[in-house]
Structure 1
Amino acid sequence: MEFNFLLRMVVAGLCGAFIGFERKNRMKEAGIRTHFVVALGLALMMIISKYGFQDQIGWSNLGLDPSRIAAQVVSGVGFLGAGMIFMQRQTVKGLTTAAGIWATAGIGMAIGAGMYWVGAGTTVFVLFAQKLLHGRFHWLAAPKSDQMTIRFDNEPGNINQILERLKEKNITILSFHAENDANDPSEIILEIFIKIPGAVTIEQLLPIIQELSSVRSVEVG
Structure 2
Amino acid sequence: MNSIWTINEIDLTIRVLTAAALGGLVGFEREWSNHAAGLRTHILVCIGSAAIMLLSIYGFNQFVNESNVRMDPARLAAQVISGIGFLGAGAIMRDGSKVSGLTTAASIWVVAAIGLCVGAGFLFAAVLTTVIVLISLFALNKLENQMMRHRRHRQLIIGVIDKPGMIGNVFTQLGEQGIQVTKMSLHNKYEDQPVTEMKLSVKVKSHIRLNQSIELINNMEHVVSIEINLL
- TM superposition score normalised by structure 1: 0.84
- Residue 15 (structure 2) aligns with: 8
Count of aligned pairs: 218
Match of 1:55 in 2: 62
Indicate whether 1:106 and 2:113 are aligned.
yes
Cα deviation 1:42-98 (Å, max 9, x = unaligned): 011111111111110111312222110000111010111111001135311100000
Paired AA for residue 216 in structure 1: V
Whichever residue aligns with residue 82 of structure 2, its letter is: S
Task: Please list every run of 5 or more consecutive structure 1 residues that lacks an aligned counterpart in the other structure.
Answer: none
| Distance change in 2, residues 1:100/1:198 (3 Å) | farther
CA distance in 2, matches of 1:109, 1:142: 40
Give the superposition deviation at 1:154. 3.2
Distance (whole Å) between structure 1 residues aligned to residue 205 and residue 41 of structure 2: 28
TM-score of the two chains, using structure 2 as the length reference: 0.80
Deviation at 1:189, TM superposition (A): 2.7
Q: Which residue of 2 aligns with 1:45?
A: 52
Q: Report the CA distance shift for 1:40/1:27 in structure 2 as closer, same or farther (over 3 A).
A: same
Matched, 1:80 2:82: no
In the alignment, what sits opposite 1:151? 159
Percent sequence identity over matched residues? 33
Give the RMSD, CA atoms, in angstroms: 3.0
SS of 1:63's partner is: coil
The aligned residue for residue 216 of structure 1 is 224
Partner Cα distance (1:120, 1:47) in 2 = 18
From 132, 135, 139, the counterpart of 2:139: 132
1:180-219 superposed matches below 5 A: 181-185=189-193, 187-192=195-200, 194-197=201-204, 207-208=214-215, 211-214=218-221, 215-219=223-227
1:27 aligns with 2:62: no
- CA-to-partner distance for each residue in 1:162-188, whole Å, 9 max, x for gaps? 224444566542332446544455533
* Residues 1:175 and 2:183 aligned together: yes
Q: State the distance in 2 between where 1:204 and 1:44 align.
A: 55
Q: Distance in 1 between matches of 2:110 and 2:55?
A: 20
Worse-superposed segment, 62-71 or 97-106:
62-71
Letter matched to residue 225 of structure 2:
S
Q: Which has the higher helix share?
A: 2
Which amino acid in structure 2 is aligned with residue 176 of structure 1?
A: M
Decide which structure has the larger Cα Rg and report it: 2
Unpaired runs of at least 5, structure 2: 1-7
Cα distance, 1:113–1:86 mapped onto 2, change above 3 Å? same
